Amino acid sequence: MTTARDLTFTAMDVSPSRPVEQGDLSLALAGAELIDLLTGEAVTLEDDLIVPGMRVATADRLLGQADEALVRERPHESVEDWLWRRGRGLASAYVAAFEKEGQLARQRHRWLPFREGRTELADSPDRHAAAQRWASREPVLVALAAAVGIGEKTTGDTSGVENADVETVLATVDDALLELEAVRQRRAIEKAAFDNVWRGE
């Protein structure tokens, strides 16, 4: 199991304080992948630049894709640039992978057995492992979840995280999410202003 997979399970399994935005989750998943590459010693950080090492051997297809997506020549990519590039549509990619693996199941209506209901997580060992990691309050998973609005821990709290490079990634995820929210607010204001002009107000 990877941190990104555990975060996806957590986002789908734990009732958040607010709905998790797909863009927010995608950025956090890109951060989770980078953290796994760091802890697996596939990359190191020089300041905020990602320096790839040996290619990682992993059975997880998406983490393997993350490793292949690293910029291996100089100048190396910054953590922030990685989050925005790798994070594009990443939440959908994880959901699609879960569907392919049978981690998601369509719930059938009680009275209409041939009609499919909404998609829910299947009861699987991977789901239980992620739930156990969440229940143990593992610091990295809790910090990433808090960044997207899941759990009680406040955004930016990295207590329990002992790796400075991991802290750098978590802080950059928080900054990227703030930037994304600012973009959303700016677009909302611009749309409201346009609507007012259209209505002649």
What is the chain's mean pLDDT, rounded?
87
Distance CA(23)–CA(90), nearest Å, equals 8
pLDDT digits (tens, 9 = 90+) for 174-184: 999 999 988 87
More confident: 17 or 14? 14
Confidence label for 112 from pLDDT (cuts 50, 70 and 90): very low
42-46: long-range contacts (C-beta < 8 A, 24 or more apart)? 42/67, 43/70, 44/165, 45/79, 45/165, 45/168, 45/169, 46/76
pLDDT(116) > 60: no
Q: At what angle do helices 139-147 and 125-135 cross, to 10 degrees?
A: 90
